[in-house]
Structure 1
Amino acid sequence: MSVKQAVREQYQATVNLARGGNIHIPPEGWIRTVRKALGMSGAQLARRMGVTRARIAQAERAELDGGVTLKSMQAAAEAMGCRFVYAFVPPDDIETIILAQARKKARATVGAASRHMALEDQAVSDSRTEQEILRLMRELMYEMPPDFWQDK
């Protein structure tokens, strides 16, 4: 196996990981990585897109700098026979994120009330505090008040 073939196979492995849902931006960016995985030169991609080779180099740099447009990414993907996917991938399911925010807000609200009650010598038990946090969490998740995503 030639060095050129080994390098292309490494690029192919990187691209195939994304296909399985393991989406991490390659160090060289998606345009260059997929192009190299396909064994396609910048000039060949430029011809397929109907642009200059310089425009391909510019798009590859812009992708790394965070300045590439979605339209450019879409065009490059199509020219390479790929589908461009733009997505937000949460670390957990959405319900878990909402639950964590509700818990955070409920703890802050109940904690403030508990401090005031303790100052007036009316402190409640830890179990009663936890019950109130759970009750308030359910209420917040159901109502989703306008300030739900405000931390303060």
Structure 2
Amino acid sequence: MGIEAVVLKQYQNKVNQTLKQFGDYAMPSSEGWLKTVRKALGMSGSQLANRLGVTKGRVSQAESAELSGSATLKSMQSMAQAMDCRFLYAVIPKKEIENLIRDRAVLKAKEQIKAASTQMALEAQALSDEQLAFEVDRLASEIIEKMPSDLWNDE
């Protein structure tokens, strides 16, 4: 295993660890994290505003911005700190990285085999469904092994 493969595996392990730890966490849908934590602390919007040195309206605006997706990382960080909390930011995959890579490799393999298979059918040499499935799996494994730079290119 080369150094690039070792580094790639380290990245994959880090992301998978995050998935296992936080994968099912979701923002409280009706109010968002900022308002939920503020309320859990028993802190009013005015009290948080005083801690931040801003108006109560600015706190309300920040809480609304979180819900609409327009909050900045900086505002989330400062609001969290003012509530004696940490702000964490993460991009968490829906499933383990290896599975995402495998799914993509299978898709790429199917695209390649479909093109070849069409040509073979024209020459009356079409593969059976079982042979096609075997070739997709074989080619997907080869793609994963090589991890080509165009794996994520959409064609």
TM-score, reference length from structure 2: 0.78
Secondary structure at the residue paired with 1:148? coil
Note the C-alpha offset of 1:103.
0.6
1:36 and 2:39 aligned: yes
Distance 2:62 2:127 in 1: 62
Taking the aligned partners of 2:106 and 2:68, their CA distance within structure 1 comes to 37
Which residue of 12, 24, 27 maps to 2:26?
24
Residue 24 of structure 1 and its aligned partner are, at CA, apart by: 1.5
2:10 counterpart residue number: none
Q: What is the letter of the counterpart of residue 93 of structure 1?
A: E
- Aligned residue number for residue 6 of structure 2: none
What secondary structure sits across from 1:35 in the alignment? helix
Deviations 1:25-83 (A, max 9, x none): 12111111111111100111111122222211111121122111101101111111211
- 1:7 is matched with none
Counterpart of 1:72 in structure 2 is 75
Tell me the residue number matched to 2:128: 125
- Where does residue 9 of structure 1 map in the other structure? none
Bigger mean CA offset, 131-140 vs 80-89: 131-140
Partner of 1:112: 115
Identity %: 53
Instruction: Please tell me the residue identity of whatever aligns with 1:142.
Output: E
Aligned length: 133
Gaps of 5+ in 1: 1-19
Task: Tell me which amino acid in the other structure corresponds to 1:103.
Answer: V
Tell me whether 1:97 sits opposite 2:97 in the alignment: no
- TM-score of the superposition, structure 1-length normalised? 0.79
**Taking CA–CA contacts closer than 8 Å with sequence separation of 6 or more, which of the two structures ends up with the larger relative contact order?**
2
Where does structure 2 lack aligned partners over 5 or more consecutive residues?
1-20
Question: Quick check: 1:105–1:151 contact (8 Å CA) kept in 2?
Answer: no
Deviation of the 1:143 alpha carbon:
2.0
* Map 1:58-69 → 2, pairs under 5 A: 58-69=61-72
**2:51 aligns to what?**
48
Distance 2:136 2:67 in 1: 45
1:140-151, aligned counterparts within 5 Å?
140-151=143-154
